[in-house]
Structure 1
């Protein structure tokens, strides 16, 4: 958490330090983990997903779920700002909201890509 805040403090000069870059990478990695967990939960709550996976083996379902949630995690950086990362680091409620918004914005797009 402190690292993300440090990135905000050091990033205001217009130059990018190695520490700031590392902090952003760590923040993004942590966010991707949270997004993947939320994606799995949301995906399992979609009735169309439940219907589509009824005839799949557990392995097939897991593979497609991994593909979809991996897609959502990869699209996360396009949906989150540095301010969001800093806020998520210090406020668990904001972190949950940010993760939920990212998953909601991208899950349907990723499901469509996986089905193609």
Structure 2
């Protein structure tokens, strides 16, 4: 019985190591996913606010119906929500998941970098 236990000990250690590594990887991945979700929601909200506060947007949308304005805003902010996270590091995502102040800073930075490209893209349609 003791020989069997001694033979199984290395196998148990290997399996435990695999489980520990998998758990750490799963935790990191989950943290990144939560961070990405938080970033995307905050990016979309910041985009809408920034658009509505931009004089050029107000002028450009004066003659549009509410539906047209909403459709273009959705296109632009959808673009920003998709493209902006590409400029966010894994560390930023993990930080954004737990720190609202850091999330706001990250969001401001990536929205500012992305919104102009998305406005140009939306207006070409």
Q: TM-score range by the shorter chain?
A: 0.7 to 0.9
* Structure 1 residue runs of 4 or more that deviate by more than 4 Å after TM superposition: none
- Runs of 5+ in structure 1 lacking a partner? 1-12
Distance in 2, matches of 1:76 and 1:25, equals 15
TM-score, with length taken from structure 1:
0.80
1:87 aligns with 2:85: no
Match of 1:32 in 2: 40
Seen in structure 2, the aligned counterparts of structure 1 residues 85 and 104 have a Cα distance that, compared at 3 Å, is same
Counting matched residue pairs gives 102
Deviates more, 1:82-91 or 1:56-65: 82-91
Match of 2:54 in 1: 46
Structure 1 residue corresponding to 2:76, chosen from 61, 68, 71 = 68
1:17-37 residue CA offsets vs partner (Å, 9 max, x unmatched): 344334322321221011000
Deviates more, 1:31-40 or 1:20-29: 20-29
**Aligned-pair Cα RMSD in Å:** 1.7
- Runs of 5+ in structure 2 lacking a partner? 1-20
Seen in structure 2, the aligned counterparts of structure 1 residues 38 and 19 have a Cα distance that, compared at 3 Å, is same
